[in-house]
Amino acid sequence: MTETKPNQPVVASTLVKRGLAEMLKGGVIMDVVTAEQARIAEDAGAVAVMALERVPADIRAQGGVSRMSDPDMIDGIIAEVKIPVMAKARIGHFVEAQILEALKVDFIDESEVLSPADYINHIDKWNFDVPFVCGATNLGEALRRITEGAAMIRSKGEAGTGDVSEATKHIRTILGEIRALSAKTDDELFVAAKELQAPFELVREVAKAGRLPVPLFVAGGVATPADAAMMMQLGADGVFVGSGIFKSGNPVDRAKAIVKAATFYDKPEILAEVSRGLGEAMVGINVADLPAPHRLAERGW
Amino acid sequence: MVKPIGVLALQGDYREHIATFGAIGVEAVKVRSVEEIDACAGLVIPGGESSVIHRLSATYNLFQPIRERIADGLPTFGTCAGLIMLASEILDKTDDQEPFGGLDVSVRRNAFGNQLDSFETDLEFSGIESLVHAAFIRAPIVERVGKDVEVTAKLSDGRIVGVRQGNVMGISFHPEVTGETRIHALFAEIVAAAR
């Protein structure tokens, strides 16, 4: 043992924020609207729960402005489970984020699933001690969110549809753009940074590492174990499931099956086993049938 | 052929563990079955959510085999959630959560509070010359140690965050996310000595 005096502990550092995101990898984060659903999610093996007022499928069906959840409901969920609790704030609504931080949630999702509060600016996430996850449809969007302080990125997909095609498109786009970036020479990265509308230093870091500096999850349309496993095979670090579980015929078994699929994503014999006897999947809406103004993925920029 | 170190890859930051061993020239592979574990000379239980690691290991009939192999002397190293799973007793656990065991200690899950209480700091580590930079993410604390357990790291207030008993090591923090390789090197030495 040395005589050197240890430094004072540091809280809310980038390492500590991204660190929690790292620990969630390989896991499934489930949308819940009640403490009872949170219990089901934890018992099924969810790595975290997302507390929200209405799942995206209901937001879609019921319309109206969608906002941060009631603090009593969030408190109830925090009291119910041991796993991390996330909650959603509207894009740009930094006061909803302040309230969620005061409620001591473990992660805030600045989410396009809620109605945006600011059509120009996102939240300055460096102002917060709690880590943030943000949605992205392409690499430029992901890098801008990281620049604003996001500790995790989730591809957006199209929430509340049960149609995985947009999720596929977004994860393929982000990872494909990273691969293309890695192939560029140093002098080409200056133009790439301009095109991505992201800081050069971050663009260079991603090009060199061949990956984002934060975990990349997938969200928006995952409804079956096969969907979850496909996202993992495409290169996702983990999966968010929103309406797909509690809008299905058998939430308990479906939740468990999706958790197993995220772990054994490359073992078709296990995926076949967990896909059996799950009852009805959520009914679903084809993204192509959605009028453009109803597409949530187009919120945020 | 020298057997590699297996990193339990059910959930959590198993890739970072494999990369940390890679950085010091030690071969590590991900393991998700008894056959894969039996092809390894040591086992790492990574950071993640301990209740998820428990549930998945129980579902795929890994729980009892892992418990037996640790009891039989398989060198094993757990970080954070991994430490929780190596304890003989978990405090503040989910209802049906059971540990693999291996360390005669009581560990409190998520002992510091929620994510806002997560932190990084420097600490002294038994067998390592200079300070170790440590990240504590919703971390556990060792609240009781049995008589055969060596304490390898403490916070400045005396709370225990590192323990070793025979070939089993557990720590509350995450050297695999801070670029710290020396604790993994200590474990690799334990594995090499046990081969």
Distance CA A5, CA B134 (A): 14
The total of other beta-carbon atoms located within 10 Å of residue B66's CB is 22
Predicted pLDDT of residue A224: 95
What is the distance between the alpha carbons of residues A266 and A206, in angstroms, rounded to a whole number? 26
> Above 70 in pLDDT, residue B135?
yes
A183 C-beta neighbours (distance < 10 Å), count: 9
Contacts of B55 in chain A (CB under 8 A): 45, 259
pLDDT of B164 higher than 50: yes
- Report the pLDDT value the prediction gives residue A96, as an integer from 0 to 100: 98
Give the per-residue pLDDT at B64: 97
pLDDT of residue B51: 93
**Residue A294 has what pLDDT?**
74
Q: Taking the CA atoms of A35, A36, A38 and A43 in sequence, report the sign of the dihedral they define.
A: positive
Q: In this predicted model, what pLDDT tens digit does every residue of B61-76 receive, in sequence order?
A: 999 999 999 999 999 9
B120-130 pLDDT, tens digit each: 999 999 999 99
- A3 pLDDT band, cuts 50/70/90, is very low
Q: What is the CATH number of the domain that holds B138?
A: 3.40.50.880
Q: What is the dihedral of CA A145, A147, A148, A153, to 10 degrees?
A: 30
* Single-letter residue type at A57: A
CA distance B137 to chain A (A): 6
| CA torsion, ordered A162, A100, A123, B119, to nearest 10 deg | -110
- Six-digit token string for B112: 């510091």
Task: For residue B101, give Cα distances in angstroms to B25, B48, B136, B170.
Answer: 29, 17, 22, 11
A88 is catalytic: yes
pLDDT, tens digit, for every residue of B34-53? 999 999 999 999 999 999 99
User: Does the beta-carbon distance from B137 to A42 stay under 8 Å?
Assistant: no
Pairwise CB contact (< 8 Å): B94 & A82:
yes
Model pLDDT, residue A53: 86
Rounded mean pLDDT of chain B?
A: 96
Q: What average pLDDT score do residues B95-101 get?
A: 92
In our burial notation (b when 16+ CB lie closer than 10 A, e otherwise), range B25-57 reads ebebbbbbebeebeebbbbbbbbbbbbbbbbbb
Out of B16, B17, B54, B176, which one is annotated catalytic?
B176
**What is the pairing mode between strands A28-32 and A238-241?**
parallel
Within 13 A of A167's CA, how many CA atoms are on the CB side? 32
Averaged pLDDT of chain A: 93
* A94-111 pLDDT tens trace: 999 999 999 999 999 999
Q: Which of B52, B174, B180 to mutate to test the interface with A (most CBs of A within 10 A)?
A: B52
State the average pLDDT over residues A5-22.
Answer: 86
Q: What is the pLDDT of residue A194?
A: 97
pTM: 0.94
Mean per-residue pLDDT for B86-106? 94
Closest of B119, B40, B106, B120 to residue B77, by C-alpha:
B40
Taking the CB of residue A138, how many other CB atoms lie within 10 A of it?
A: 16
Q: Which residues of chain B have a CB within 8 Å of the CB of A1?
A: 124, 126
Spell out a b/e string for A165-180, using b for 16 or more CB atoms within 10 Å of the CB, else e. ebbbbbbebbbebbee
Which residue in A has a C-alpha nearest to residue B91's C-alpha?
A82
| Per-residue pLDDT, B142 | 98
Per-residue pLDDT tens digits for A202-230? 999 999 999 999 999 999 999 999 999 99
> Residue A114: pLDDT above 70?
yes
**How close A117 comes to chain B (CA, Å)?**
25
Residue-range definition of the domain harbouring residue B61: 5-194
Q: Does B135 touch chain A (CB under 8 A)?
A: yes
Tell which of B17, B118, B156 to mutate to test the A interface (max A CBs under 10 Å): B118
B40 has catalytic annotation: no
Q: Give residue A2's pLDDT.
A: 40
pLDDT(B95) > 90: no
Contact check, Cβ <8 Å, A27/B52 = yes
Please determine, for residue A43, whether its predicted confidence score (pLDDT) is greater than 50.
yes
Residues with Cβ within 8 Å of residue A41, at least 6 apart in sequence: A30, A32, A49, A81, A245, A255
Question: What band does A280 get if pLDDT is binned at 50, 70 and 90?
Answer: confident
Beta-strand relationship, A132-136 and B132-136: unpaired
The number of distinct structural domains making up chain B is 1
Split at pLDDT 50, 70, 90, the class of A7 is low
Q: Please tell me the predicted confidence (pLDDT) of residue A1.
A: 39
- Residue B116, chain A, CB below 8 Å: the answer is yes
- Marked catalytic residue, from A5, A17, A25, A88: A88
- Put simply, the answer to whether A27 touches B48 (Cβ < 8 Å) is yes
Give tens-digit pLDDT for A117-175: 999 999 999 999 999 999 999 999 999 999 999 999 999 999 888 899 999 999 999 99
Residues of B in contact with A15 (CB under 8 A): 120, 135, 177-178
For residue A218, the number of C-alpha atoms closer than 13 Å in the C-beta half-sphere is: 31
Residue carrying structure tokens 């560029």: A184
Write down the ipTM of this complex.
0.94
Record: contact B116-A11, CB cut-off 8 A: yes
**Alpha-carbon torsion B18, B21, B22, B26, what sign?**
negative
Of A16, A78, A130, the CB nearest to B137: A16
Are the C-beta atoms of residues B87 and B103 closer than 8 Å to each other? Answer: yes
Considering only CB atoms, which chain B residues are within 8 Å of A16?
A: 118-120, 135-137
Find chain A residues with C-beta within 8 A of B174's C-beta: 19, 22-23
| Cα–Cα distance for residue pair A48/A86, rounded to 1 Å | 7
- Reported as a pLDDT band with limits 50, 70 and 90, residue A282 is confident
Q: How many CB atoms lie within 10 A of CB A250?
A: 15
Distance CA B131, CA B120 (A): 13
* Tokens read off for B49: 């959510």
Yes or no, beta carbons of A47 and B49 under 8 Å apart: yes
Q: Which residues pair with B31 in a beta bridge?
A: B8
Q: What are phi and psi of A133, to 5 degrees?
A: -115, 140
Q: Of B26, B157, B34, B136, nearest to B81 (Cα)? A: B136
pLDDT above 90 covers a percentage of chain A that reads 81
Backbone angles phi, psi at B123, to 5 degrees: -145, 165
Task: Give dist(CA A74, CA A67) in Å, integer.
Answer: 13
Contact B137 A260 (CB under 8 A): no
Tokens of B190: 């334990």
Alpha-carbon span B191 to B176, nearest angstrom:
18
Select from A8, A11, A81, A271 the residue whose CB has the most chain B CBs within 10 Å, as the one to mutate to test that interface: A11
Residues B152, B123 contacting (CB under 8 angstroms) = no
User: Which regions of chain A does DSSP assign to beta strands (E)?
Assistant: 10-11, 28-32, 48-51, 85-90, 107-111, 132-136, 152-155, 216-218, 238-241
Catalytic annotation on B133?
A: no
Does residue B77 carry a pLDDT above 80?
yes
CB contact under 8 A, B119 and A10: yes
Question: Buried (b) or exposed (e) across B111-141, using 16+ Cβ within 10 A?
Answer: bbebbbbbbbbbbbbeebeebbbbbbbbbbb
- Give the dihedral of Cα atoms B108, B114, B115, B117; nearest 10 deg: -80
User: Which of the 8 DSSP states describes residue B149?
Assistant: P
Angle, CA of A298, A19 and A186, to the nearest 5°:
65
